[in-house]
Structure 1
Amino acid sequence: MSYTYSNYNSDALKLRALILNARKPFVLRNFKMNWKCFHVTLEEWCARYDKEVNASQEFEVMSCSQGNQTPHWERDRKSLRMTLTEFLEKQKSASSNNYWIGLNYQRINEMPTALGEGIDFSRLGFSEATEECNYWLCSTQTNTPCHYDTYGCNIVVQVYGRKLWLLFPPTTPLSSTRIPYEESSVYCEENLFAPNPQELQQLKKLQSSAYRCILEANDVLIVPKHWWHYVEAIDLSLSINYWIPLENDVEEQLKECIVKILIERFVKNGNEEEQKFILNPNQVIAEMQDDAEIFKILHYLYEKTKSDCSSEKSRRLNVTPCAYQYLDEQECQQLVEELPNGIVEYLSPMSNKDYEVLLNQHAKRFKPSNGSATEPQPFSIIKKAIINSVCTPAVIDHIKMEFFKRYQI
């Protein structure tokens, strides 16, 4: 399709075009979405949730001291069932500073309709997003390890509270890892929550690449494809996000399929302790696909240049994928100028001083331990190094290109 400015006859369509052509993050400040379900306080929304659902929910619980040893805290997390009102009450206790609690990555379409009433992304030009978004309810210090999503472009709406977002461009030399393995997420080894002394010095070298955003209630953040991001709740927080399916996601899905083949075949040969270490808890060993099934998916992705992969995150991509970065930066700037003044705030790299202050503050959280129980003894250093070497993004990209050359049908 040829895109011209005549296509953008409303602010919503202009915003859609800017989002789909984002090359660096930007924020819409105090951009009220006016979703009816959130025309109440957080306490009132949680009380309504409890009334509508009439059941306790399984929250993730993590000790702050335990999380300071590794950014990949998911394998060490505990779970605790409680109502949302009970969750709010726990935040009033002084002991709440010792742990964080989160109800994360919850599908809106799995909630009672009343709890998501009015949620509509059409003001941003994405009316199709309504059924495919997720909500994240969490306490102070709840964090997401630094990673990038292999699929899509991310829209994040902050509903209550504040969150810190620390973002880095795709080319930033962070140390990628696929352990713990989670389909569609590439983590980095560096611990942004509580860097140890060695990590602190390495992270300080990235000062020219760090973008910070304090997302406040009613703000909307756009995270472009493959941007690294670390997220931490500053307050009790509730946010809604939507990953926009993109036309060029199909190549990422094929590469993720290759990673899946490599990781799962390695895991099958390991013992239970190694399997638990390699896989994120949301990757179920029993759901591993056999050769016939996984190669069928790989063949399907090879043939279909604009279709979806049957994975957990990409199953939601049941709408037409969007074209991506089809306008140049000059055309995007013209769209910004046509919107109300000040509506779009592009993020800029942090100052060296601000970045150093932030890292030093986070480094104070690190407390040396007498011994880490995170990595099991049977899991040798060489095995971890082999997995990360073979599954590093540059190697997987090369395998994909070789596969295209060699798989002739």
Structure 2
Amino acid sequence: MAQTTPHFATEAHKLRTLILNARKPFVLRNFKMNWKCFEQSLEEWCANYDKEVNSLTEFEVMSCNQGNQTPHWERCRESMRMSLSQFLEKQKTATDEFWIGLNYQRMQDLPNALKEGIDFSRLGFSETTNECNYWLCSKQTNTPCHYDTYGCNIVVQVYGRKSWILFPPNTPLSCTRIPYEESSVYCEENLYAPNLKELQQLTELHEFVYRCILEENDVLIVPRHWWHYVEAIDISLSINYWIPLENDIEEQFKECIVKILIERFVQSGSKEEQKYILNPNQLNEIESDEEVFQILEYLYRNIKTDCSQSKSRRLNVTRHPYQYLNEQETQKIIQELPAGMMENVTPMQRNDYEMLLKQNAKRFTTTQTNNAQQLQPISELKRALINSVCAPAIVEHIKKEFFKRYEP
């Protein structure tokens, strides 16, 4: 543990240090990243996208009144091909019947003109353009509540606004690995449209909840393993980057264990079961025993690498140490920043939280609930077993047992 706070010469170095030592989320308000590609309006950027790409783009579409008895899982969404300019035009006459979004799109797939100038050097992280993701969506587009098993998340709000509801890692939400997506642990609670039971359960979490509204040019830092539910307030474009961390390697090992367990459950099941249990982006990622155990062995050897080799060099990725300063040391660095630059995301007032939940609960409809339950392709027994053996605490225990027993 450092005895004195180190001196950081540049603002970018200070921000980098604060991000890597974040224990609670914080926002940099009106913090312009000065990215050349976004000096134009959203309409101009979308028009340039259409010109450069010269083909229709596949958007996700979700009925706002369909499937609200569960979160808006990806398996429930349909697709629609259109240009980005057509997407914007639809928003002029949009109702609350459905939302449309480009979610989790890789920046590396964009033509250079559409990502010119994007880097995170103002925050102390450079050369990250191709590792970023962009999210373009309409009002009410939402990401079900989850936490990311890897990295610390930087989110830049480029256009429009988004609502972020966050919970600390120890919050007693109902973890589920159905749908299974590598690196994402979802909860079963539906914050978009809670039913009466969920409304009561979520209300009881009032002492855990944080919230912020991201405006244009705001930058949000989401610490490792913080739960978050994200919903667009209006047409929104945001960019995010997950900072690789040293402890991600053990998380990758645990995610490999989950992959082995989940895929063994679905291999003997029907196609309908596979589509229900696996997120759409995982359907073509099922590995053979030989392949997946090679991955497990590779990760194990990287974890057990001799200490003389820097952890940050493992797996050919630059990985960063995390939370290596104590809170007193980080406070000293915060005091060196310009006044008002950094804003801590604060706990939500109980009355405001309950009001938001009740407002969202008005979206819930029971019209299709019975049919949805009848169409569920797996039994509650199988669902409970999958979520039990893949629970984070159980997987952590398996990892420790494996390390005791396996000596190559």
Q: How far apart are residue 31 of structure 1 and its match?
A: 0.3
**1:327 corresponding residue in structure 2:** 325
Q: Tell me how far apart the structure 1 counterparts of residues 242 and 72 of structure 2 sit (CA, whole Å).
A: 22
Q: How far apart are residue 378 of structure 1 and its match?
A: 4.3
Aligned amino acid, residue 235 of structure 2 = L
Q: Tell me how far apart the structure 1 counterparts of residues 276 and 251 of structure 2 sit (CA, whole Å).
A: 25
Q: Tell me how far apart the structure 2 counterparts of residues 235 and 329 of structure 1 sit (CA, whole Å).
A: 36
Matched residue SS, 2:147:
strand
Q: Does 1:354 align with 2:361?
A: no
**2:279 corresponding residue in structure 1:** 280
Identical columns (%): 71
Q: How far apart are residue 319 of structure 1 and its match?
A: 3.3
The answer to whether the 8 Å contact 1:25/1:223 transfers is: yes
Q: What is the CA deviation profile of residues 262-282 of structure 1, one whole-angstrom value per residue up to 9, with x for unaligned ones?
A: 000110010111111111111
Q: Tell me how far apart the structure 1 counterparts of residues 373 and 124 of structure 2 sit (CA, whole Å).
A: 44
Q: 1:121 to 1:302 in 2, by over 3 A?
A: same
The answer to whether the 8 Å contact 2:72/2:142 transfers is: no
Q: What is the CA deviation profile of residues 228-247 of structure 1, one whole-angstrom value per residue up to 9, with x for unaligned ones?
A: 00000001000000000000
Q: 1:2 to 1:290 in 2, by over 3 A?
A: farther
**2:339 corresponding residue in structure 1:** 341
- What is the number of residues matched between the two proteins? 398
The answer to whether the 8 Å contact 2:63/2:99 transfers is: yes
Q: How far apart are residue 374 of structure 1 and its match?
A: 6.6
**1:364 corresponding residue in structure 2:** 362
Matched residue SS, 1:62:
strand
Q: 1:273 to 1:41 in 2, by over 3 A?
A: same
Q: What is the CA deviation profile of residues 351-391 of structure 1, one whole-angstrom value per residue up to 9, with x for unaligned ones?
A: 11111111111111111124243773441110000000110
Matched residue SS, 1:354:
helix
Q: Which runs of 5+ in 1 are unaligned?
A: 308-316
Q: How far apart are residue 318 of structure 1 and its match?
A: 5.4
CA RMSD of aligned residues (A): 1.7
Q: How far apart are residue 38 of structure 1 and its match?
A: 0.6
Aligned amino acid, residue 233 of structure 2 = I
Matched residue SS, 1:80:
strand
Matched residue SS, 1:194:
coil
Q: Tell me how far apart the structure 1 counterparts of residues 105 and 14 of structure 2 sit (CA, whole Å).
A: 29
Q: Tell me how far apart the structure 2 counterparts of residues 12 and 288 of structure 1 sit (CA, whole Å).
A: 41
**1:389 corresponding residue in structure 2:** 388
Q: 1:4 to 1:51 in 2, by over 3 A?
A: farther
**2:155 corresponding residue in structure 1:** 156
Question: Which runs of 4 or more aligned residues in structure 1 lie more than 3 Å from their structure 2 counterparts after TM superposition?
Answer: 1-7, 374-378
Q: Tell me how far apart the structure 2 counterparts of residues 36 and 114 of structure 1 sit (CA, whole Å).
A: 9
The answer to whether the 8 Å contact 1:138/1:238 transfers is: yes
The answer to whether the 8 Å contact 1:277/1:376 transfers is: no
**2:308 corresponding residue in structure 1:** none
**1:79 corresponding residue in structure 2:** 79
The answer to whether the 8 Å contact 2:174/2:188 transfers is: yes
**1:311 corresponding residue in structure 2:** none
Aligned amino acid, residue 103 of structure 1 = L
The answer to whether the 8 Å contact 1:306/1:321 transfers is: no
Q: How far apart are residue 336 of structure 1 and its match?
A: 0.2
Map 1:35-50 to 2 at 5 A.
Answer: 35-50=35-50
Matched residue SS, 2:281:
coil
The answer to whether the 8 Å contact 1:76/1:374 transfers is: no
Q: What is the CA deviation profile of residues 25-70 of structure 1, one whole-angstrom value per residue up to 9, with x for unaligned ones?
A: 0000000111111111111110011011111100000000014221
Q: What is the CA deviation profile of residues 204-225 of structure 1, one whole-angstrom value per residue up to 9, with x for unaligned ones?
A: 0000100001000000000000
Q: Tell me how far apart the structure 2 counterparts of residues 24 and 384 of structure 1 sit (CA, whole Å).
A: 33
Aligned amino acid, residue 154 of structure 2 = I
Q: What is the CA deviation profile of residues 320-346 of structure 1, one whole-angstrom value per residue up to 9, with x for unaligned ones?
A: 100000000000000000111111111
Q: What is the CA deviation profile of residues 170-216 of structure 1, one whole-angstrom value per residue up to 9, with x for unaligned ones?
A: 00000000001111100000000000000000000000100001000
Q: Which runs of 5+ in 2 are unaligned?
A: 306-314
**2:301 corresponding residue in structure 1:** 303
The answer to whether the 8 Å contact 2:162/2:232 transfers is: yes
Q: Tell me how far apart the structure 2 counterparts of residues 131 and 290 of structure 1 sit (CA, whole Å).
A: 29
Q: What is the CA deviation profile of residues 281-324 of structure 1, one whole-angstrom value per residue up to 9, with x for unaligned ones?
A: 1112x4311111111111111110299xxxxxxxxx85310000
The answer to whether the 8 Å contact 2:150/2:248 transfers is: yes
Q: What is the CA deviation profile of residues 115-139 of structure 1, one whole-angstrom value per residue up to 9, with x for unaligned ones?
A: 0111110000000322211100000
Q: Tell me how far apart the structure 1 counterparts of residues 32 and 62 of structure 2 sit (CA, whole Å).
A: 32
**1:313 corresponding residue in structure 2:** none
Map 1:141-290 to 2 at 5 A.
Answer: 141-284=140-283, 286-290=284-288
Q: How far apart are residue 3 of structure 1 and its match?
A: 10
**2:34 corresponding residue in structure 1:** 34
Aligned amino acid, residue 35 of structure 1 = W
Q: Tell me how far apart the structure 2 counterparts of residues 122 and 372 of structure 1 sit (CA, whole Å).
A: 51
Q: Tell me how far apart the structure 1 counterparts of residues 220 and 137 of structure 2 sit (CA, whole Å).
A: 18
Q: Does 1:401 align with 2:400?
A: yes
Matched residue SS, 1:212:
strand
Q: Tell me how far apart the structure 1 counterparts of residues 37 and 163 of structure 2 sit (CA, whole Å).
A: 24
Q: How far apart are residue 93 of structure 1 and its match?
A: 1.3
Matched residue SS, 2:27:
strand
Matched residue SS, 2:66:
helix
Matched residue SS, 1:24:
coil
